[in-house]
Amino acid sequence: MGRKNMKTKTREGVVVSDKMTKTRVVLIERVYRHPRYERVVTRSKKLKAHDESNSSKVGDRVLIEETRPLSKEKRWRIRQVVGRSA
């Protein structure tokens, strides 16, 4: 009954806030084509992610993965910083 072989969900996004200790707000954008109208649609969502080492800053592109609930709103953690901001 283990969850060892299950693939974890990962998302890539941009850090938009680093004002909380060990918590970052990450903006996830997804682009898809509307099934009926064939129009390209952009949807975005802000997720709170745990950053144990406080290594990411605003503007950094990060890879986050789903984890157990860490608080009321935190269910993601930062796996790695993909790109640094200028």
**What is the pairing mode between strands 76-83 and 40-50?**
parallel
pLDDT for residue 42 is more than 70? yes
In this model, does residue 16 exceed pLDDT 60? yes
The amino acid at residue 21 is T
Binning pLDDT at 50, 70 and 90, where does residue 5 land? Answer: low
DSSP label at residue 68: S
Q: How confident is the model at residue 7 (pLDDT cuts 50, 70, 90)?
A: confident
The two tokens of residue 67 are: 């984890």
Mean of the pLDDT values across residues 10-14? 97
Q: What predicted TM-score, i.e. pTM, was given to this entire model?
A: 0.86
Task: Locate the domains of the chain by residue range.
Answer: 10-83
Q: 10-83 — its CATH code?
A: 2.40.50.140
